[in-house]
Amino acid sequence: MAYYYKEPSRTFNEYLLVPGYSSKDCISENVDLSTPVVKYREGERPPLRSNIPLASAIMQAVSDDRMAVALAKEGGISFIYASQSIENQAAMIRRVKDHKAGFVRSDSNIRPEQTLRDVLELKKKSGHSTIAVTEDGTADGKIVGIVTSRDYRVSRTPLDMKVREFMTPFEGLVCAEDGVSLSEANDILWDHKLNALPIIDKNRRLTHFVFRKDYDSHKENPLELLDEQKRYIVGAGVNTRDYAERVPALVDAGADVLCIDSSEGFTEWQKETLAFVRREYGDSVKIGAGNVVDRDGFLFLAEAGADFVKVGIGGGSICITREQKGIGRGQASAIMDAAEARDDYLKRTGYYIPICSDGGIVYDYHMTVALAMGADFMMLGRYFARFDESPTAKLNVNGNYVKEYWGEGSNRARNWQRYDMGGDAKLSFEEGVDSYVPYAGSLKGNVNQSLGKVKSTMCNCGVTNIPDLQKNTKLTLVSATSIVEGGAHDVILKEPGGNVGR
């Protein structure tokens, strides 16, 4: 006879945190959101910690090298998506590890024989007004000039005019040689009243830009996540098909932590992938596994050698696994079950294996609920897809700005490896959708606001760190009526900018 759980499958939305006693020390400035990312022995320091409990999802529409740098600046970790060639993924990892704070690789580049029409299309796509003109139109080509919005007037400059005719030519640029320090580069910016300073090598090839607008931001990242060599920390996804080739390439590129990207982790395929990593690298390479939704799944991956376990099936905003296959579990129930298994494993072995909650976060307060239930950090897709730093296009749809967002199980991504169960090398049916998410602006401001809410809630609970939140917080189930009561009700809301009362 099949096994039936006695409790319903619960979501984060069905719980509220109950306030605890707050001392005078319980203020947001004193809250520490650092958290372990990988397995460690009790009483010892974790080999890898994140300064905030947020990771960006292993998705084409979310995590590339630009997202990785932006999130590392705020203290989190991006996992570069695996549904691309090994060479491209390794190149993204190298770009993150080679990134020098304040030195930005140009992501808006054009050839001199292109036209103003091309410039405007590129500006619309990237949102950047400073465009490098290189001989071959690449980010590291030989620089021949720069185009900014001051070089043309859309109302007067013909759209078919060649870039070389209106750009600021190389002879009119102030540049700095590769190897200049950030302090020296900023001095040049200020001395010459520049907005952008190209950094070039001895062959006049563009290597980076330093922007005036970034000057203050470099002093505003006290939580940036760096390795021992002062390089940004970055993660990467792998699959259970080509791991023997992909893992060595990503390790060689400098990835700090790996994660098996799969919709279902309670499989022999994941056990074999973990065994390969342990056989080839011992404990020197850190790799998480998943996804699972219960005690048995967690313990299986823990015993197989996972450095962290990713929990959650079917709870993502673009995931349709539950309606397609009837597989999954409410995210709250899954986290609580896995956390109980994690604590039992710690008592039995002396090793703590962090839990990554993947999916189910709709509102910011769900982050605090997930942490209180036992998650050590969260992997988010939709949340990060909304930002400037995600790799997708920003579009205007029906008068509203949106960003494209699609699931790895959609026909657009065709990431069949993520859903591989040992059959043919193809995506048999969709387990994700292709969609839009409302554009939300920059990562920095949004992450700071979300985590500000988390800190405030933790203070209401009388705690100032995640371990104490997990040990001391009280949670309560809420009824459907209680959920309604929790929002605005029995009032007439004013329309934004309306004239109610006049």
Supply the residues annotated as catalytic: 319, 418
For the chain, the C-alpha Rg in angstroms (whole number) is 24
Cα 229 to Cα 50, 280, 484: the distances in Å are 16, 24, 51
Two tokens at 243?
């791991």
199, burial (CB in 10 Å: exposed 0-12, middle 13-18, buried 19+):
buried
Give the three-state DSSP class for 404: strand
d(CA 279, CA 100): 34
β-pairing verdict for 206-211 and 196-200: antiparallel
- CB count in 10 Å sphere of residue 350: 12
Q: Which of 240, 194, 241, 236 is nearest to 213 (CA)?
A: 194
- CB count in 10 Å sphere of residue 123: 18
Two tokens at 491?
């009032």
d(CA 133, CA 105): 13
Give residue 413's identity as a one-letter amino acid code. A
Kindly list the strands in the beta sheet with 176-177, ordered across the sheet, starting from the edge strand earlier in the chain: 176-177, 196-200, 206-211
Residue 467, phi then psi, degrees to nearest 5: -55, -40
d(CA 408, CA 261): 10
Two tokens at 8?
């319903």
d(CA 35, CA 21): 23
Q: Which of 391, 428, 405, 253 is nearest to 319 (CA)?
A: 405
Give the three-state DSSP class for 495: coil
Give residue 471's identity as a one-letter amino acid code. K
Q: At which residue do the structure tokens 């919005």 appear?
A: 149
Helices (H), 127-264: 163-166, 182-191, 243-253
